[in-house]
Structure 1
Amino acid sequence: MIINSDELDARSAYKLLIGSVTPRAIGWVSTLSSSGIANLAPISFFTVVSRKPPMVSLTIQPRSDGETLKDTLVNIRDTGEFVTNLVTLPQAHHMHRSAAEFDSSCDEFDEVGLVKEACEVVQVPRVKEAPIAFECTLDRIIPVGDVKDHVVWGKVVRFHIRDDLYTENGRIDTGATPTVGRLAAEYTLADNAFITPLTEDVLRARAGRRMHRIDEHPDGWSAVDGADWSPSGATKA
């Protein structure tokens, strides 16, 4: 199948992108409104920009109506601050619930049952249960395309790393962090690791094997096919 991207609308292109670029890291972003209301949202168009200074990138789509800017973007624009929290399996359902389009007047920490933890530099709280969090200050916001997408670059000013995950050599013990990533409209758990080359026996044993589900949905099921899915990365509350 060869598809001309010029012939796709935003919804169709989004389906192909999120089903092909996998797994994607999730930046579970906490922000504060200018009036001090806390917001949480998982952003899966999330990656690292640079090392010195350490910077991260978020790409934020509008709400499911295709027009209204998400609270995350508005809050970052208005306050110049945000926090990215690492999602591990114990927080997965809280993270998923925080993707709902709550009213801007709602404190989403309270809505999904999470505890706030104060940061050192930014006023935004981090998720206490998250094993790693980055305090970030806004570097720039870049409008992209013609569908109200925006790229946000933020400078990491503080790293919060749970003590047991920080090794003597100054690295993260990734084997002790059951990180949750994004597939299309579903999630995946990082529960294996390898370096190459792998043996032929291992390669043969895994050839053609489909990913196994750890929920109760049948093989081949996808939330993208559901009536409530929208190309916004958010769900309706």
Structure 2
Amino acid sequence: MTNQTEEPKRFGLESQVARNPHPDFKKVEASRPPFESDIVWHYNQTVDPNWVPGSGANNKDWAQHKKIELDPFGETRKPVDNYKMLISAITPRPIGFVSTVGVNGTRNLAPFSYFTLVNHDPPIFVVGFSGGKGNPKDTCKNILETGELTINIISEWFVEAANFCCTNSPYGTDEWMLSGLTPLPSTKVKPAHVAESAFSVEGRLIHSHEWTSKADPSRPTGTLCIIEGVNFHVREDVINDDLNIVDIAKLKPVSRLGGITYARTVDGYEMPRPDYDKDVEEKPEVKNLL
């Protein structure tokens, strides 16, 4: 349920970022080609299959441009400048679609691209939030207060619904209802996981850390939550018989780029990890590079 008396919060940089770069997004979108639903996952060769050790980049285009140095804490550098640059450079980013329940029982569902996997034994994930613990985002508030959540991977077949969950709604708004997505009961934590998601993680908070501004250390700017995965849910048709590899062609994961841009994962290439004994020690032409 929505608390009609509470205004939507604007966290930190969000009040400074123009989320929609287009005056009329639907008009711009209509001018673009339709979504290519017939594209299926496939493998390509690497960019240069003939690359040899010691030869560096596979083309020299990089040499036509110089690098410029940017001090993130320079006098004329604004935090919003760093934000825009980082989310457009650190790409693609996986999206953690997080389900939580508040201490009062209200449900929340929201996507976050300050998210990744950092360990496997135990399974450890991190989720970053704008704003400090004293004024947390709804998802962060629920995690800090209850210690529980589910993390769901977003796939192409429900990306519009997931995106609608990032609206700046008042605390208590039920994004499950706004998106039309389906909650499934979890086993070890209270928050539901997303039925439409092909891979979901039940998680518990094991540590949190608050970040403060370099310019004003008294001003909190963000919160990091470290999460232990305590249970997995995976759709039966996307995982192999050994239950240890998810088929990316069926998962169709969506990632985050800069601005309001999302990315598909439709092709890739394989590169075996070099073996030092075989690929260096046993090859004089490579060993001589050292």
- Do both proteins adopt the same fold according to a TM-score greater than 0.5, normalized to the shorter chain? yes
CA distance in structure 2 between the partners assigned to 1:193 and 1:163 by the alignment: 24
- Is 2:157 the counterpart of 1:90? yes
SS across alignment from 2:227: strand
Contact 2:95 2:113 survives alignment (8 Å): yes
Match of 1:232 in 2: none
Q: Using the alignment, how far apart are the partners of 2:123 and 2:168 within structure 1? A: 30
Q: 1:151 Cα shift?
A: 0.6
Question: By how many angstroms is 1:25 displaced?
Answer: 0.2
Aligned-partner Cα distance in 2 for 1:196–1:105 = 47
Match of 1:171 in 2: 245
1:48 aligns to 2:117 (yes or no): yes
Q: How does 1:25-174 map to 2 (within 5 A)?
A: 25-62=94-131, 68-146=135-213, 147-169=220-242, 170-174=244-248
Per the TM alignment, residue 191 of structure 1 is displaced from its structure 2 partner at its CA by: 0.9
Amino acid at match of 2:104: S
Is 2:262 the counterpart of 1:193?
A: no
Measure the CA separation in 1 of the matches of 2:230 and 2:69.
Answer: 43
CA distance in 1, matches of 2:170, 2:254: 26
Gaps of 5+ in 2: 1-67, 214-219, 273-290
The alpha-carbon deviation at position 71 of structure 1 amounts to 0.3
Please state how far the C-alpha of 1:6 moved relative to its aligned partner: 1.5
Residue segments in structure 1 that go unaligned for 5+ positions in a row: 198-237
* 1:83 Cα deviation after fit: 0.6
Separation (CA, whole Å) in 2 of partners of 1:144 and 1:62: 9
CA shift for structure 1 position 5: 1.3
TM-score by length of 1: 0.78
Cα offset, 1:108, TM superposition: 1.0
Q: Which moved more, 1:161-170 or 1:85-94?
A: 161-170
Q: CA deviation at 1:148?
A: 2.4
Q: Distance in 2 between matches of 1:152 and 1:62?
A: 12
Deviation of 1:2 (Å): 2.3
The one-letter code of the counterpart of 1:150 is: T
Which is higher, the Rg of structure 1 or of structure 2? Answer: 2
Which piece of structure 1 moves more, 187-196 or 25-34?
187-196
Aligned AA (1:149): G
Deviations along 1:76-101, whole A, 9 cap, x unmatched?
A: 00110011101001111111110101
d(CA) in 1 for partners of 2:79, 2:160: 28
Amino acid at match of 1:112: S
Q: What is the aligned length?
A: 194
CA distance in 2, matches of 1:56, 1:115: 23
CA–CA distance in structure 1, aligned partners of residues 212 and 149 of structure 2: 24
Calculate the aligned-residue CA RMSD, in Å: 1.6
| 1:148-187 Cα deviation digits (max 9, x unpaired) | 2011011100010101111023211122111100001210
